[in-house]
A and B are shown apart, each in its own frame.
Chain A
Amino acid sequence: MIEEGGGPAFERGGTALAVEDVHKSFGPVEVLKGVSLSANDHDVVSILGSSGSGKSTLLRCINLLETPDSGRVYVKGELIRMRESRRGGLVPENPKQVERIRGKLAMVFQQYNLWSHMTVIQNVIEAPVHVLKIPRAEAVERGEEELRRVELYDRRDYYPAHLSGGQQQRAAIARALAMQPDVMLFDEPTSALDPELVGEVLRVMRGLAEEGRTMLVVTHEMGFAREVSDRVMFLHEGRVEENGKPDEVFQNSKSERFRQFLAGTLR
């Protein structure tokens, strides 16, 4: 479902996430040239694109790790309120609102970004205890549950430096799950992994998709995009070039660029 920018034309009941006409430039380079997307609850949306197409920037504009130059972001129907800054561009109107909404949008990074001075379980309970204010004992109990789900319970007291890349990424997924997020954002979660470690992370992500989690996944894993996602979106030079159900998009895409991209990745 693509909106050509403009007003909120679509139904927002059951809409987990809506992004409208987001623009973002870094210096003279316009990375996003008006991108819109929406995801309903339980949707898995894969975002594809060659490097520099703006897909990571799009994800980072959703939880405001990057501030969009213009456009609107709704999470569970709630607009992230922005205002014009004196230097031009937007700034959040209320940092507290942004923090609260970020708590509903867990992010998994390409480089895992586990906190290296904390053990796995400490990583997992950190934000639930300090952001969501869940009592420690309860957070530990839930955290251990998440670690079992990603098959890392036996490594709960290890520090990140002593884990493989795949284990670190699964720990990062457990950390994201512990926030009980409404939407999970995955920013190329397998791109930093050795090929033989990719499978274990994808398996966990498939499991999450089957549970009905709402997920936005920036990825280069065509198999995952094709088999797991409900919708595939292809970004090219900061615009949405292709968008639809995986079967349609992969088999008879009208976009020449997407077919070229596919040919390149299926070598």
Chain B
Amino acid sequence: MDTVVAYLPAILRGTSVTVAVALCSAVLAVFLGLLGAWGKIAPSRTANAVTGAYTTLIRGVPDLVLMLLLFYGGQQLLNDIGAATGWWGYIEISHFTAGVFTIGFIYGAYMTETFRGAYLAIPRGQIEAGTACGMSGSLVFRRIVWPQLVRYALPGFGNNWLVLLKTTALVSVLGLHELVWESFTAGRSTRQLFTFFFVTMAIYLVLTAISDTGLRWLERKYSAGVRRA
């Protein structure tokens, strides 16, 4: 127990990094997801093709492979381009940035499918009714589509968020000092791997429990007018 207390500051620091990576990549994923869903729905062949390739590629390759590819390969690519064109000097991508970008990029593909499904769940007639009242496209989106999109997307979003939160553990492989990295380090130095990973497990459970509560609150807030079975 004393050893855990001694390492607690480091572990809490790791936890905050985990939460920060998860939140930042979720924001990026939601942004990419909305953009992707729009691209899939928009009546443009090019947009359909680009977003189709994005989701197919991302969802077909393991997260860890993409992460290593983007972290090592991406940095090299950026610097090769910089060296060849002289537009920028040597760039070093931080572990945090690399983690956020890869996770955000990967989960953007899953969010794309979530948002696309949610959009398709909104009855067309309600959108027509808005148009027929003289609403502009953006007004229809803000007042009619968005509130219902959030409602239909929440269950899928919640699922994606929980998986995303757990996927941040993979960033420890890149060497980011997040929860798993700190626990592993502490466990190895004290030879109490079981104790430290048990603590880690408990912390992840607390994080997901908090998320669950938050998601349930959001679902209640956005399900106004939904008849409960």
Which residues of A line the B interface, CB within 8 A?
63, 65, 95, 99-103, 105-107, 109, 111-119, 126-127, 130-131, 159-162, 172, 175, 179
Contact of B125 among A63, A113, A119, A159 (CB under 8 A): A113
With A99-B134, A102-B134 as known contacts, state yes or no: A130 contacts B139, CB within 8 Å: yes
Residue among B126, B128, B132, B147 with the highest chain A CB neighbour number at 10 A? B132
With A113-B123, A117-B148, A117-B151 as known contacts, state yes or no: A95 contacts B136, CB within 8 Å: yes
Q: Which residues of A contact B125 (CB under 8 A)?
A: 109, 111-113
Besides A117-B222, A127-B135, 16 new A-B residue pairs in contact (Cβ under 8 A), listed by A number: A65-B131, A100-B134, A101-B134, A107-B132, A109-B128, A113-B125, A116-B126, A116-B226, A119-B225, A127-B130, A130-B139, A130-B143, A131-B134, A159-B225, A161-B225, A175-B133
With an 8 Å Cβ cutoff, the count of chain B residues facing the other chain is 23
Q: Which residues of B contact A95 (CB under 8 A)?
A: 136
Residue among A63, A114, A115 with the highest chain B CB neighbour number at 10 A? A115
Contact A99 B135 (CB under 8 A): yes
Contact A126 B227 (CB under 8 A): no
CB distance from B220 to the nearest CB of A (A): 13
With A102-B134, A107-B132, A131-B134 as known contacts, state yes or no: A117 contacts B225, CB within 8 Å: yes
CB nearest to A111 among chain B residues: B125
The CA of A84 and the CA of B165, in the complex, are separated in Å by: 52
Contact of B148 among A106, A107, A116, A175 (CB under 8 A): A116
Q: Which residues of A contact B6 (CB under 8 A)?
A: none
The CA of A123 and the CA of B139, in the complex, are separated in Å by: 14
Residue among A113, A118, A159, A175 with the highest chain B CB neighbour number at 10 A? A113
The CA of A63 and the CA of B225, in the complex, are separated in Å by: 29
Contact A103 B134 (CB under 8 A): yes
Q: Which residues of B contact A159 (CB under 8 A)?
A: 224-227
The CA of A260 and the CA of B134, in the complex, are separated in Å by: 39
Q: Is B202 at the interface (CB under 8 A from chain A)?
A: no
Q: Which residues of B contact A115 (CB under 8 A)?
A: 126, 129-130, 143-144
With A109-B125, A126-B143 as known contacts, state yes or no: A65 contacts B132, CB within 8 Å: yes
Contact B126 A113 (CB under 8 A): yes
Contact of B227 among A100, A112, A161, A179 (CB under 8 A): A161
With A99-B136, A119-B225, A159-B225 as known contacts, state yes or no: A109 contacts B147, CB within 8 Å: no
Q: Which residues of A contact B151 (CB under 8 A)?
A: 117
CB distance from A150 to the nearest CB of B (A): 17
With A117-B148, A117-B224, A159-B224 as known contacts, state yes or no: A63 contacts B132, CB within 8 Å: yes
Q: Which residues of A contact B139 (CB under 8 A)?
A: 130-131
Contact of A114 among B129, B136, B222 (CB under 8 A): B129
CB distance from B48 to the nearest CB of A (A): 17
With A116-B225, A117-B224, A117-B225 as known contacts, state yes or no: A131 contacts B135, CB within 8 Å: yes
CB nearest to A109 among chain B residues: B125
Q: Which residues of A contact B123 (CB under 8 A)?
A: 111, 113, 116
CB nearest to B151 among chain A residues: A117
Contact of A106 among B131, B133, B144, B227 (CB under 8 A): B133
CB distance from A185 to the nearest CB of B (A): 8
Q: Which residues of A contact B132 (CB under 8 A)?
A: 63, 65, 102, 105-107
The CA of A118 and the CA of B131, in the complex, are separated in Å by: 17
Q: Which residues of A contact B126 (CB under 8 A)?
A: 113-116
CB nearest to B227 among chain A residues: A161
With A117-B147, A117-B225, A159-B225 as known contacts, state yes or no: A102 contacts B129, CB within 8 Å: no
* Top 4 A-B residue pairs of the complex, sorted by shortest distance between their CB atoms: A103-B134, A159-B225, A113-B125, A127-B133
Contact A102 B225 (CB under 8 A): no
Contact of B129 among A105, A107, A117, A130 (CB under 8 A): A107
The CA of A107 and the CA of B130, in the complex, are separated in Å by: 10
